[in-house]
Structure 1
């Protein structure tokens, strides 16, 4: 990777690659003939299909129902016919999906609730659950669960996360500029649901134009603070944001609710607005398609289920052959090898890298420089966790705090020995989870 990284305790300054899309307004993408809907486009149990092959569906039809407390509904983003329910390539590997053929009529299901209905807090949370809203910053945790903390966990602070720290992504930036009114209305909905007195909208200093747009919308009664933070990676980590904005530290293995805080991304906040004000489920999202190989990078409003190949065509194809395709950004994203993989609720950016950017240098022995410790935003010891995993000592990896890793990738990118630290820690976490499920 040809990023120049300068170290700072608990973060890095990486080279900004946003210039090709940061000033491009959001465009609505065209819709392909076939769309693919993974049953697990969220954290937790995969949804259970509610349709069969041959069924007719509309925009907003529930095609898979949540299958547990931590799960989420899946809705069709087009009208047409269910033609297949089978395993297909997804960001999580080969997994069950529903394939729908588009009839291009865009027939819609009735709204989620009657326009004349006055919603209580419980009803709003129920609508958000019904709409299938999940964390759209990438975590994909079911939002209705996040907004329903245990009675003993009082919430006094809401943080809206607009700190888009991946080097290429501008989807959240453009959302804050192009949809400032809807975003602020979504924040107001969250304030009503959580009854909080303190609200921060956090973003990085390189998106100052979005601050101006949001300030035009805010009323004096809102009591919403817009906070411009230093542009440093990973500024958007929710634990970091909580520490910087509230001086509270989420305990190891804990959640923001443990320090009386809820963090919601700007994309999720817009989805909440869509569910409550527009009365529609989550069937679209804003995604950046970018990177040097792309002919015409764009910020696109995309139907969930759209294959990535279609979005490449939407951006006029390639001007050079890509060496790597990443679902997400180069720091936290996951490399993919199939353009058939569809956009899901958590797809904020698809990054295409040139061959020379994607070449991984040869690994050499650790030189004990401690740089991975210096840049870890959650104060872990990445090299020790990695060594424990490679030695097959999963218990030691867990003891060292592998499960507290936020997958930011700082350790791998700063490592002069090119040890695959993040890959090893992710693998360790996967084995730890598997062991926990067996117990």
Structure 2
């Protein structure tokens, strides 16, 4: 049964057919690996290694700073050859550069891990493993699994609604690692003892639902929710409402309504950290798009430069005009092929000149389409206008910080106004204003 949902949405082409049925391929890492000290939401990590130092897979390269932050671990063994500033997707971060020795020597696995881990140890092991949300938001997972003590968690929600075009990394993870995902759920259930577990998937990923249903046999709390394929079905607040009927309050968190929601791949990593003692050093990433000769779903070690994945996918059939970290709805343009695969790299999309031939921007025609498709009922054009006029406080009053950055507004705008880009810039300016006041 498919659950039809009512939130505002758009229906971009899925463009998933070239990788939908392709099994995950594990690949070796290249000779030079790049580790930004921010692969997560929150404060960047602080480098704790020196040039010339030998490291192993699992060695801490960067230590988390503050409550909302995450450790950065090496995914290979080798030598630290540089610590330098680099532009990563439009922001400058300190990066640790490691020369891979090809031996993949590993740090000892966490001795506290196993089948009888005390509930209070679970967030600690998740933190040590460096796990963040793997759906793209990269919120530190250990923080999400430690809600305020006055919040009662009764529902776990797994986000398998892979709504961004081109991406099939979650689909293949659900199909090929269903058992590990369900065991990750059991780990978190051991912490909260919830009443219900929902797994939300779209109706174009029914094989994943079948795999998870089989893996969860006998685990009566689990229910697969097959949802309409639309964008942004995988947005956290929308998914929670569609699975439970509950609404996260404006400015609130899922814990406020008794829920914890994370990507399916995150639960797989939780299983590996808590039961097997393994750090998060790799992830599944889809490499796709019209220019790519042989699109694939790859198991990639974190820190692998994107340039090194192109030959593995057969090179280009034609020269790409645009490369996106993520997809065409929410992704950010990649300007340097040395940009690495990070914890939130669900997919990398390559587009042709014809696909990105941007129509010239014209004045707003007041069609209201951006308002009609905004899933959180904002007025994107008004926020964009306020930002372009330098009225940052006005943008904040209009709810810029409530934007989930889905990109529906930019996608639907017939005037080709960069609504999402302007709203993102407005949010950055608002945060800077807050810091200045403090």
- Global fold match (TM > 0.5): yes
Secondary structure class of the residue paired with 1:307:
coil
Q: In structure 2, list runs of 5 or more residues that go unmatched.
A: 1-5
Q: What residue in structure 2 maps to residue 276 of structure 1? A: 274
Q: Deviations over 1:398-432 (max 9, x none)?
A: 01100010111101111111111111111100100
Question: Aligned equivalents of 2:70 and 2:59: distance in 1?
Answer: 14
Aligned twin of 1:4: none
Structure 1 gaps of 5+ residues are 1-7
Residue matched to 1:208 = 206
> Matches of residues 211-250 of structure 1 in structure 2 within 5 Å?
211-250=209-248
Residue of structure 2 equivalent to 1:339: 337
Offset from partner CA, 1:268-292 (integer Å, 9 cap, x none): 1111111112211110000000000
- What is the Cα deviation at residue 219 of structure 1? 2.5
Structure 2 CA distance for aligned equivalents of residues 154 and 136 of structure 1: 24
Contact preservation (8 Å) 1:89, 1:340: no
Structure 2 counterparts to residues 4-403 of structure 1, below 5 A: 10-114=8-112, 118-403=116-401
Aligned-residue CA RMSD (Å): 1.3
Q: What is the alpha-carbon distance in structure 2 between the residues aligned to residue 395 and residue 373 of structure 1?
A: 20
- Tell me the distance in 1 between the aligned counterparts of 2:148 and 2:7: 35
Seen in structure 2, the aligned counterparts of structure 1 residues 321 and 120 have a Cα distance that, compared at 3 Å, is: same
Report the secondary structure of 2:321's partner residue: strand
Structure 1: distance between partners of 2:134 and 2:119 = 22
1:405 aligns with 2:400: no
Query: In the aligned structure 1, how far is the partner of 2:368 from the partner of 2:162?
Result: 27
User: Any idea what SS the aligned residue of 2:303 has?
Assistant: coil
In structure 2, distance between residues paired with 1:37 and 1:421: 31
Greater shift, 106-115 or 170-179, is seen at 106-115
In the TM superposition, residue 217 of structure 1 has moved relative to its aligned partner by 1.4
Aligned length: 432
**How many angstroms apart in 1 are the aligned matches of 2:158 and 2:102?**
36
Name the SS for the 2:139 alignment partner: coil
TM-score of the superposition, structure 1-length normalised? 0.96
Q: Which moved more, 1:116-125 or 1:394-403?
A: 116-125
Deviation at 1:154, TM superposition (A): 1.3
Q: TM-score, normalised by structure 2?
A: 0.96
Task: Tell me which stretches of 4 or more aligned residues in structure 1 moved more than 4 Å.
Answer: 114-117
